[in-house]
Amino acid sequence: MLIKLAWHSLGSRLGTVLLTIMMMSVSILVLLSVENIRHQAKESFQQSVSDVDLIVGPRTGQINLLLYSIFHIGVPTHNLSWDSYQMLQQQPEVDWTIPLSLGDSHQGYRVVGSEQQLFEHFRYRADHSLEFASGNAFNETYDAVVGAEVAASLGYQTGNAIVLAHGIADTSFSRHDNHPFQISGILKPTGTPIDRSVFISLTGLEAMHADFPGANTAPDLTPQSVTAVLVGLTSKIKTFSLQREINTYSAEALQAILPGVALSSLWSMLSGVEQTLWVISLLVLLGALIGMVNVLLLSMRERRHELAVLRALGYHPSFLFALLQLEAILITASSIIVALLALSAGDMWLREWLLSQFGLFLADSLLQAGTWRLVGGIMLAAILSALLPAVNAYRQGLGTQLR
């Protein structure tokens, strides 16, 4: 009886109720979207690289080393020598290494010098390896592999010739026009900085900076140094002992960092932006809840005779209290359903676009445990907000309502 009465009562004020549902749906959609994007961005951020036990580079801050080696942000001050890199390879605890050499660019995108190990051992999002949308890895000195975003934004295909530039600024006097590269492969989108990078071999990097027309006539293209090294170990137990050994290496000032620890420190620095988005979303939801309470209070003036009839029929004031609360629950539940449907539709339509344009990978399901906790919190907030009109209905006397 209570549910039926609440349903028909809302139906009698359909226009006002629908506007209230729309207003609350928008606010809930904003809150859920911020929560999911925050969660997905954090996951994507922390899973930009997986299965890397140590990142080794010249001695600097751990966040700085993480930023330029994984996210290609910033400029490294100096490199580690090739002898130190070979020392790392020879350690019995080391299973594989991926050398990285930075310092060049192509039309605003970073150029990364590396080796075949990059395509064999690099992992992201737990256990995803790099895959090619077309072509293959670099085999020749002047081969290049481009990320998905680079290929999409510049319209590249395999076989195209590109000219790289020394440094980050792509100016005419810094380009290596005498050493053009040919695109041998295009990677599939990963949602990581890989999408915004151009990869060449360390040999090609040395040849590009050498002052001769072709690589085949060069006597020696052995690199002199690399910027950083990603290291995978045979056993996780040996991580801290090798890290201590590298940090105390006497031949050169080196630093080995744990990617997970550095990522956590970096994310904590960005927590201010996260909190700001949360506050804005909560304020939007608060405004919608106030609007719902206002609608219920205004409706009581129009329904005072209806409520008086219910009291005259013998219904207890607690029945009126429950009726107002149930109406608030029905409005909020309807708003949540609309918001979840809109969120799911947006996920379906925008998933590929977000990945290609912003490098944001969305999980298969947006309805995570945190989403359901948030939905429960919204419902509880609606019940508490409806206490004012519900208590008002409970306290009104029968005589007052019949005047």
Do residues 212 and 295 both lie within one domain? no
Do residues 394 and 289 both lie within one domain? yes
Domain finish residue from 225, 257, 289: 257
Please count the structural domains in the chain.
2
The arithmetic mean of pLDDT across residues 164-178, rounded, is: 74
Do residues 286 and 243 both lie within one domain? no
Residue 225 CA to residue 202 CA, distance in Å, equals: 10
Q: What is the pLDDT of residues 105-125, one digit of tens each?
A: 999 899 999 999 999 999 887
Do residues 392 and 277 both lie within one domain? yes
Characterize the bridge pairing of strands 161-162 and 181-187.
Answer: antiparallel
The arithmetic mean of pLDDT across residues 34-43, rounded, is: 74
Do residues 113 and 8 both lie within one domain? no
Do residues 166 and 281 both lie within one domain? no
Q: What per-residue confidence (pLDDT) applies to 117?
A: 93
Do residues 207 and 133 both lie within one domain? yes
Does residue 264 lie within any of the structural domains? Answer: no
Nearest residue to 157 (alpha-carbon basis) of 190, 180, 135: 135
Do residues 206 and 61 both lie within one domain? yes
Does residue 262 lie within any of the structural domains? Answer: no
Residue 51 CA to residue 53 CA, distance in Å, equals: 6
* Residue 147 confidence (pLDDT) above 70: yes
For the chain, what's the residue count? 403
Do residues 76 and 37 both lie within one domain? no
Find out whether 302 and 17 touch, Cβ atoms under 8 Å.
no
* Domain limits for position 343: 2-45+271-402
Domain finish residue from 229, 257, 285: 257
* Residue 393 confidence (pLDDT) above 90: no
Does residue 224 lie within any of the structural domains? Answer: yes
Does residue 263 lie within any of the structural domains? Answer: no
Q: What is the pLDDT of residues 178-219, one digit of tens each?
A: 889 999 999 998 878 898 899 999 999 988 887 644 444 445
Hey, how many other C-beta atoms are within 10 angstroms of the C-beta on 178? 12
Six token digits for residue 111: 């150029």
Does residue 235 lie within any of the structural domains? Answer: yes
Residue 250 CA to residue 231 CA, distance in Å, equals: 20
Q: What is the pLDDT of residues 221-237, one digit of tens each?
A: 788 899 999 999 999 89
> Does the pTM of the predicted model rise above 0.75?
no
* Residue 278 confidence (pLDDT) above 90: no
Does residue 223 lie within any of the structural domains? Answer: yes
Find out whether 45 and 376 touch, Cβ atoms under 8 Å.
no
Does residue 34 lie within any of the structural domains? Answer: yes
Hey, how many other C-beta atoms are within 10 angstroms of the C-beta on 51? 17
Do residues 72 and 38 both lie within one domain? no
The pLDDT confidence band at residue 144, using thresholds 50, 70 and 90, is: very high
Q: What is the pLDDT of residues 259-268, one digit of tens each?
A: 988 888 877 7
The pLDDT confidence band at residue 168, using thresholds 50, 70 and 90, is: confident
Do residues 41 and 59 both lie within one domain? no
Domain finish residue from 257, 287, 305: 257
Do residues 28 and 159 both lie within one domain? no
Residue 208 CA to residue 179 CA, distance in Å, equals: 6
